[in-house]
């Protein structure tokens, strides 16, 4: 609540055809109002922080040259000359935005419009929804969330390395934490305050909101997915909601190594202690199952 009431704030204003949500993951996100949402940004500069990790990995690994994420320039890819064609979306993620399974095969900005949610930044052009062949990039929808485009149309400082900062923590996390805590202490359903917190996030994304009823813990778990996919936190969210390891029967495509998905051992909810740590400190005991 202190974060929600602080000078940090949700970015809610779109600029030059870019949605407020898209602006959080762009090349000038440290210079526009999007910066006020970044509580703990990992600063990037195409000339001074050259690395094959951080935002370069996030945007290059999720694109190929056939993807075009700029609504103002249909021929542009992601704002860099890197498009490795690697990571892509599970159909289960895409269906969070299209629960009836009727997903259009469009460019990412058009998919978001069709979903009625600015966060649905998926490319389906000449792609299958299912990940039938894990070695084929077009087997699954592309994720066009991260770019190095700038809202004013200017180019990045470097053609290869991005200027886009990575917000390791952002204000939306505080809103969802607040709503989740509210639901957990009130019988699994948000009160008026928790509902307002989720509505604020959904309103920013131009998604539908609720006024007459709250959000359940199931709803909140799904909302974490919609807001934070590909930001490196889904595993811990699923563990917290008891939907990861164990006989939880919450499966997704290729969970546990099978296409239809299957449960795996609960011990995987906790990582193993590395061997070099065990070797250097004989007082440590390996976690169960390893």
Hey, what are 112's tokens? 């978001």
Give the whole-number percent of the chain exceeding pLDDT 70.
100
**Is the confidence at residue 243, as pLDDT, over 90?**
yes
150 shares a domain with 11? yes
> Is position 41 within any domain?
yes
Q: Are residues 2 and 76 in the same domain?
A: yes
Check if the beta carbon of residue 145 is closer than 8 Å to that of residue 229.
yes
Does residue 122 sit in the same domain as residue 246?
no
Mean pLDDT calculated for residue range 108-123: 98
pLDDT for res 22:
99
Please state, as a whole number, how many other Cβ atoms lie within 10 Å of the Cβ of residue 176. 20
Q: What number is the average pLDDT over the span 119-128?
A: 98
Average pLDDT of span 208-231? 97
In angstroms, how far is the first alpha carbon of the chain from the final one?
A: 39
Boundary (domain end) residue, out of 187, 208, 231: 231
As a whole number, mean pLDDT of residues 155-184 equals 98
Q: Is the pLDDT of residue 270 over 90?
A: yes
Give the tokens for residue 127.
């792609």
- CATH number reported for the structural domain that contains residue 222 in this entry: 1.25.40.10
Domain boundary residue, one of 231, 253, 277 = 231
pLDDT of residue 51: 93
Look at residue 237 and tell me if it is in a domain: no
pLDDT of residue 115: 98
Q: Are residues 216 and 88 in the same domain?
A: yes
Look over the chain and give the mean of its residue pLDDT values, rounded to a whole number.
97
Residues 159 and 253 grouped into a single domain: no
Q: Which residue has the higher pLDDT, 101 or 183?
A: 183
Does a structural domain hold residue 3? yes
Helix (H, G, I), strand (E, B) or coil at 54: helix
Same domain? 6 vs 42? yes
The answer to whether residue 201 is domain-embedded is yes
Q: Say if 182 falls within a structural domain.
A: yes
Write out pLDDT tens, residues 147-163.
999 999 999 999 999 99
Residue 129 forms part of a structural domain: yes
Question: pLDDT tens digit string along 5-60?
Answer: 999 999 999 999 999 999 999 999 999 999 999 999 999 999 999 999 999 999 99
Residue 92 falls within a domain, yes or no? Answer: yes
Q: Are residues 172 and 263 in the same domain?
A: no
Residue 101 confidence class, pLDDT cut points 50, 70, 90: confident
**Residues composing the chain:** 290
In a domain, 236, yes or no: no
pLDDT score of 218: 98
Over residues 228-244, the mean pLDDT reads: 98
Per-residue model confidence (pLDDT) at position 192: 97
* Spatial distance between the Cα atoms of 109 and 18, rounded to a whole number of angstroms: 9
Where a domain ends, among 183, 209, 231? Answer: 231
Task: Please indicate, yes or no, whether residues 178 and 202 belong to a single structural domain of this protein.
Answer: yes
> 135 and 255 share a domain?
no
Q: Judge if 170 and 263 occupy the same domain.
A: no
Write out the residue range of the structural domain in which residue 275 sits. Answer: 242-290
Domain identity same for 168 and 266:
no
Domains in the chain, number: 2
Helices and strands, number each (H, E), in the chain: 8, 4
> Same structural domain for residues 14 and 119?
yes
Residue 167 has pLDDT above 90, yes or no: yes
């Amino acid at each position: 609540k202190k974060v929600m009431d602080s000078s940090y704030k949700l970015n809610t204003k779109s600029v030059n055809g870019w949605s407020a949500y898209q602006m959080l993951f762009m090349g000038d996100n440290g210079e526009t109002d999007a910066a006020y949402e970044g509580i703990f940004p990992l600063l990037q500069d195409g000339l001074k922080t050259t690395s094959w990790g951080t935002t370069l990995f996030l945007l290059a690994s999720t694109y190929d040259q056939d993807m075009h994420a700029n609504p103002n320039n249909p021929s542009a890819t992601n704002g860099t000359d890197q498009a490795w064609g690697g990571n892509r979306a599970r159909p289960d993620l895409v269906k969070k935005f299209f629960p009836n399974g009727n997903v259009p095969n469009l460019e990412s900005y058009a998919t978001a419009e069709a979903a009625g949610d600015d966060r649905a930044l998926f490319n389906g052009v000449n792609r299958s929804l299912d990940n039938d062949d894990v070695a084929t990039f077009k087997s699954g929808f592309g994720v066009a969330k991260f770019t190095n485009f700038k809202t004013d149309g200017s180019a990045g400082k470097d053609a290869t390395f991005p200027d886009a900062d990575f917000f390791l923590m952002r204000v939306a996390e505080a809103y969802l934490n607040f709503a989740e805590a509210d639901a957990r202490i009130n019988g699994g359903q948000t009160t008026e305050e928790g509902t307002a917190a989720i509505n604020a996030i959904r309103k920013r994304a131009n998604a539908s909101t609720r006024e007459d009823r709250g959000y359940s813990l199931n709803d909140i778990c799904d909302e974490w997915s919609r807001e934070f996919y590909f930001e490196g936190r889904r595993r811990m969210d699923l563990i917290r909601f008891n939907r990861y390891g164990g006989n939880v029967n919450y499966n997704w495509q290729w969970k546990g190594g099978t296409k239809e998905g299957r449960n795996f051992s609960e011990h995987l909810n906790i990582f193993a202690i590395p061997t070099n740590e065990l070797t250097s400190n004989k007082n440590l005991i390996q976690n169960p199952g390893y």
